[in-house]
C-alpha cells in the first residue's frame, strides 16, 4: 500500500489475538503498522509483533524490490512493535538502529543487546537526512512509554505518531474510527493526558498532511477532527453531552433503579443516556463511556462490607486512568447495611475535580416510595 510516492505500508493484521496487551478484547483484531521510506537512503519505521515477523519481512522485501534498508527507526519498544527487531538486524546486518537513549536501554533488557556499534541515538529535534526526505525526531515520553519518539517527514509532511492516533481493530475490517480509538486511548494512553497535550503542542507547529500511527488506519483527511478529539480526550474534558449510568445488580433491584433513572433522564430532556451492567459490559467500553460524558451515575450494592467487586474495579480503573472534571451521582442498595455510597465516595477521593450530586438514592433491598422520590429528585438535579 502506497502512503506517498516514497512511503509504503508494510504492516500486518492480527486476527489470532484474543486479548491485546493481555487485557483488551479486540473483536476485529489488531493492526501492527510499519512503514518504509524509499529515498537515497532507506528507512524502516518500526517492526511488528513477533508472531508476524516472517510476514513483515516479506512485505518489507517486496517494497524494497532488491534494495537494502539503511536504518530501522524504533519509535516504541513495547513488544507489539519491537518483537521483530532482532530478526531484522540479523537479516540486514548493515542497517543502523535509530532510537532514543531510553529505547536502547530497553533493547538491552528485552534482547540482551543494545546493538552497540550500529546504533544512532537521537534526541528531541535531531534530524536524519535520507536524500530528498528529512526525518525530524520528536520526543513523546509517556505516550505511552517513556522511551517513545515520534518522527516528522518534512518532505511529505507525514507525522509517524507511534501509538498516538491508534485504535483497536485490524485494517481489513471496516469500522468507525472514533469508537475503537476512544476505547484504545482511554484504556492505554488515558492516564497520560499531560504528555499527550505536550506532544499536541509540538505537532501544532508542524505542517501535517498525513498521520501514520502504529495501529489503525493512516489518517490523511480532515485531520482537525482527529486532533480535536485527542485534545478533548487528553485534557479530560467531556466529549459528548449526556449521562452514563454504570451499575451492578445482584438480583435485579439495583438494575431496576438504574433503568428507571435512565427513563426519567430521557423524559426530562437529557440528550443521551448510556447505561451498562459492569458485570456484563466490557470494562474498557465502560471506562470509555465514563470519559465520554460529563456526568456519571454509579449504582451498586453493599457487598462483604464493601461494594460489589465489578464496581470497585470500575472506580479504581477510572482513578488509575486520571478520571477528573466530572459530576458523579450515587445510588446505593443494601438489605441490612447501607454503606455503598460511603465506600464509593472514599474511592472517588483520589479523582481530581469531581463533584458529587447532592441527591443520593438509598435503596433498602427494593425501590419503595421513599427511594422512588429520591430517584425523581436526582433526575431533576441531573437535568436542571
Q: Using CB under 6 A, list all residues that contact ligand FEO.
A: 76, 78, 80-81, 144, 163, 214-215
CB-nearer residue toward ligand FEO: 80 or 180: 80
Return d(Cα 44, Cα 96) in angstroms, integer.
10
Asked if 359 and 332 count as a contact pair (C-beta separation under 8 A), the reply is: no
Given the C-alpha cell 543487546, which residue does it identify?
A: 113
CB-nearer residue toward ligand FEO: 199 or 328: 199
Q: How far is the CB of 72 from ligand FEO (least distance, A)?
A: 17
Return d(Cα 262, Cα 343) in angstroms, integer.
23
CB-nearer residue toward ligand FEO: 287 or 315: 287
Residue 327, all three cell numbers? 459530576
Residue 127, all three cell numbers? 534530524
Return d(Cα 78, Cα 165) in angstroms, integer.
16
Query: How many other β-carbons are positioned within 10 Å of the β-carbon of residue 37?
Result: 28
CB-nearer residue toward ligand FEO: 161 or 302: 161
Q: How far is the CB of 163 from ligand FEO (least distance, A)?
A: 4
CB-nearer residue toward ligand FEO: 76 or 264: 76
**Number of residue whose CB is nearest ligand FEO:** 78
User: Residues 6 or more apart from 21 whose CB is under 8 A from it?
Assistant: 80, 188
Q: How far is the CB of 271 from ligand FEO (least distance, A)?
A: 34
Return d(Cα 330, Cα 342) in angstroms, integer.
9
Q: How far is the CB of 220 from ligand FEO (least distance, A)?
A: 21
b/e 58-72 (16+ beta carbons within 10 angstroms → b): ebbeebbeeeebbbb
Return d(Cα 331, Cα 199) in angstroms, integer.
39
Taking alpha carbons only, the member of 262, 264, 227 closest to residue 243 is: 262
CB-nearer residue toward ligand FEO: 31 or 331: 31
> Count of alpha carbons within 13 Å of 169, Cβ hemisphere only?
20
CB-nearer residue toward ligand FEO: 30 or 360: 30
CB-nearer residue toward ligand FEO: 43 or 143: 143
Q: How far is the CB of 80 from ligand FEO (least distance, A)?
A: 5
Alpha-helix residue ranges (DSSP H) falling in 235-303: 253-267, 283-292
Q: How far is the CB of 47 from ligand FEO (least distance, A)?
A: 12
Q: How far is the CB of 171 from ligand FEO (least distance, A)?
A: 14
Q: How far is the CB of 216 from ligand FEO (least distance, A)?
A: 10
Q: How far is the CB of 198 from ligand FEO (least distance, A)?
A: 17
Cα dihedral value 237, 217, 51, 65, nearest 10: -150
Asked if 287 and 310 count as a contact pair (C-beta separation under 8 A), the reply is: no
Burial bucket for residue 355 (CB in 10 Å: 0-12, 13-18, 19+): exposed
Helix/strand/coil for 351 = coil
Q: How far is the CB of 21 from ligand FEO (least distance, A)?
A: 7
CB-nearer residue toward ligand FEO: 144 or 182: 144
CB-nearer residue toward ligand FEO: 30 or 135: 30
Amino acid at each position: 500500500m502506497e502512503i506517498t510516492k516514497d512511503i509504503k505500508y508494510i504492516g500486518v493484521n492480527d486476527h489470532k489475538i484474543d486479548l491485546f496487551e493481555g487485557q483488551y478484547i479486540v473483536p476485529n483484531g489488531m493492526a501492527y503498522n510499519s512503514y518504509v521510506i524509499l529515498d537515497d537512503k532507506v528507512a524502516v519505521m518500526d517492526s511488528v509483533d513477533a508472531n508476524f515477523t516472517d510476514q513483515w519481512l516479506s512485505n518489507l522485501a517486496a517494497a524494497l524490490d532488491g534494495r537494502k534498508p539503511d536504518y530501522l527507526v524504533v519509535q516504541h519498544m513495547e513488544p507489539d512493535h519491537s518483537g521483530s527487531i532482532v530478526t531484522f538486524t540479523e537479516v540486514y546486518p548493515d542497517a543502523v538502529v535509530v532510537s532514543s537513549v531510553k529505547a536502547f536501554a530497553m533493547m538491552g533488557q528485552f534482547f540482551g543487546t543494545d546493538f552497540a556499534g550500529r546504533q544512532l541515538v537521537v534526541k528531541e529535534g535531531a534530524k536524519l537526512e535520507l536524500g530528498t526526505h528529512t526525518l525530524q525526531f520528536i520526543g513523546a515520553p509517556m505516550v505511552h512509554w517513556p522511551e517513545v519518539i515520534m518522527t516528522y517527514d518534512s518532505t511529505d509532511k507525514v507525522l509517524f505518531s507511534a501509538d498516538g492516533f491508534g485504535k483497536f481493530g485490524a485494517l481489513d475490517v471496516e469500522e468507525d474510527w472514533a469508537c475503537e480509538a476512544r476505547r484504545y486511548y482511554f484504556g492505554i494512553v488515558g492516564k497520560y493526558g499531560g504528555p499527550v497535550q505536550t506532544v499536541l503542542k509540538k505537532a501544532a507547529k508542524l505542517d501535517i498532511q498525513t498521520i501514520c500511527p502504529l495501529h489503525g488506519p493512516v489518517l490523511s483527511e480532515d485531520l482537525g477532527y482527529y486532533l480535536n478529539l485527542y485534545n478533548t480526550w487528553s485534557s479530560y474534558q467531556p466529549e459528548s453531552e449526556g449521562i452514563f449510568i454504570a451499575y451492578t445488580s445482584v438480583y435485579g433491584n439495583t438494575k431496576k433503579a438504574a433503568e428507571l433513572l435512565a427513563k426519567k433522564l430521557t423524559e426530562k430532556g437529557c440528550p443521551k443516556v448510556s447505561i451498562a451492567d459492569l458485570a456484563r459490559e466490557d470494562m474498557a467500553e465502560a471506562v470509555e463511556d465514563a470519559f465520554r460524558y460529563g456526568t456519571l451515575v454509579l449504582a451498586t450494592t453493599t457487598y462483604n462490607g464493601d461494594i460489589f467487586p465489578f464496581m470497585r474495579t470500575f472506580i479504581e480503573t477510572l482513578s488509575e486512568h486520571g478520571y477528573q472534571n466530572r459530576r458523579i451521582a450515587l445510588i446505593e442498595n443494601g438489605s441490612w447495611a447501607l454503606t455503598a455510597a460511603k465506600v464509593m465516595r472514599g474511592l472517588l477521593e483520589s479523582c481530581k475535580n469531581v463533584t458529587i450530586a447532592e441527591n443520593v438514592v438509598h435503596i433498602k433491598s427494593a425501590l419503595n416510595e421513599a427511594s422512588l422520590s429520591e430517584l425523581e429528585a436526582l433526575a431533576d438535579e441531573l437535568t436542571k
